[in-house]
Amino acid sequence: MHVTSSHSHMKAELKGTSISFQNPTTLFNTPHNPLSGALKGCLGSLDGACIEKLLLHCASALESNDITLAQQVMWVLNNVASPVGDTNQRLTSWFLRALISRASRICPTAMSFKGSNTIQRRLMSVTELAGYVDLIPWHRFGYCASNNEIYKAITGYQRVHILDFSTTHCMQWPTFIDALAKNPEGPPSLRITVPFCRPHVPPMVNVSIHEVGLRLGNFAKFRDVPFEFNIIGNTGPTPAELSDESYSFHFEAMLSLLNPTTLNLREDEALVINCQNWLRYLSDDRKGSRQSHSLRDAFLNIIKGFNPRIVLLVDEDCDLSASSLTSRITTCFNHLWIPFDALETFLPKDNGQRAEFESDIGQKIENIISFEGHQRIERLECGVQMSQRMKNVGYLSVPFCDETVREVKGLLDEHASGWGMKREEGMLVLTWKGNNCVFATAWVPCEIRDHVGMDASLP
């Protein structure tokens, strides 16, 4: 990162975006400034704790509309950040970008924001997407844990129907179809139903959901698994909408389509609900009376009413629901350091796949930090919070069996030694160097506990 300086003006170039910082040196030359000593000591430091402190100072300044102080702290961060540096430098560059984006909306004139503030995304091919999800076990962990529990829950059924709510374009299902094909008693028929559109978040692919379904069908035919692919709703986003930043995912419209008639639910099918990195995008705001449900709870109540054989819920084990910007920065920095650090262990700094993966995380960081209100769609709950929500709505936890644990451990053995797994309060949790990353949980509605052949745990 290049910085030019004079006593009166500095300009930082951040990934093609130009921003002007006025009089940054006053931060260090003002004897009564309580931050001057601490921040001056951080200049050039790569220590994560120091960077986090700087980010929090900047966030506090923005929350109090102190643009001058925010500019000065950004100047210090700019001396640390680098999109091609080490883990801390690369992560800092994305946080700095997000803070600049937020500041430019608070005070556009003072920030002199130039150039595009939009992260450019490249649409991946399905083959490239497969390589993307294989880089680190961030996604495969959930696939593996869920698929094994689904397979166990549908044993004895001749027909299986999976309602799939996920963001990775059905990448979970080829391995599941392959497992069904190996069933010594012959595979059951498999029906997968997906929504007509998904949240406008990475990864993005260059084929429609209809094409994804056709490819899955071809693979299932090759493996001799009877297969049907359905899409809830009959229209989806156009190519223009997919490239339009203003395109929003309307969950309320999708929820109205979740009924037995539209879904063509059948009595002789084992119904499975699969939610991978999905619930975070459903609003948790409660409208109207005190008894009304949020969209998140409404979704969980709707699918509970279908009496599914099992519900799988997988997401990142991190709480990003706080209204406070400083709280979100602390949590986000300490959580999203993980994939940056994991990629650092086996990919060179100039690797294209690494840059693309980090850019997608950068988009998440920007949404978490830059936006508020309905525009802030990244609203994760940690596993413990989500588990309590499931119990409150009327679900019982299903413990993961030993076979699933063995399968997941086998998957992690294929990756770097820093990856691990633990059981925690009914969850399986993916870890990196001991830090929680992703949780996987399995549930059944309370009403059918006595009718399922599994050990469901009481709240």
What is the tens place of the pLDDT at every residue in 27-51?
444 444 545 555 555 655 568 889 9
One-letter amino acid identity for 329? I
List Cβ<8 Å contacts ≥24 apart for 384-389: 384/425, 385/319, 385/321, 386/279, 386/313, 386/315, 386/439, 386/441, 387/425, 387/426, 387/427, 387/441, 389/296, 389/297, 389/300
Q: How far apart are CA 103 and CA 95, in angstroms?
A: 12
* pLDDT higher than 90, residue 406: yes
Residue 87 has pLDDT above 50, yes or no: yes
- Give 273's strand partners: 163, 311
Strand partners, 227: 190
pLDDT tens column, 148-186: 999 999 999 999 999 999 999 999 999 999 999 999 999
Which residues are paired to 311 by β-bridges?
A: 273, 443
pLDDT for the residue 29: 46
CB-based contacts of 243: which residues, under 8 Å, 6+ apart?
A: none
The whole-angstrom separation of Cα 125 and Cα 136 is 18
**DSSP at 428:** E
What dihedral do alpha carbons 251, 254, 256, 262 form, nearest 10°? -160
Domain boundaries, the chain: 44-114+325-375, 126-321+379-445
CA distance linking residue 206 with residue 124, whole number of Å: 6
Give the pLDDT confidence score for residue 306 in this predicted structure: 97
- Residue 452 is predicted with a pLDDT of 47
Band (pLDDT 50/70/90 cuts) for residue 210 is: very high
Q: Is the pLDDT assigned to residue 224 strictly greater than 90?
A: yes
CATH architecture of 126-321+379-445: 3-Layer(aba) Sandwich (3.40)
- Cα of 355 vs its chain's centroid, Å: 17
Closest CA to 372 of 318, 325, 326: 325
Q: What is the mean pLDDT of the chain?
A: 85
Neighbouring CB atoms inside 10 A of 437's CB total 23
pLDDT tens for each residue of 101-132: 999 887 765 554 443 445 567 899 999 999 99
User: If pLDDT is split at 50, 70 and 90, which confidence band does 53 have?
Assistant: very high
- What whole-number distance in Å separates Cα of residue 205 and Cα of residue 134? 16
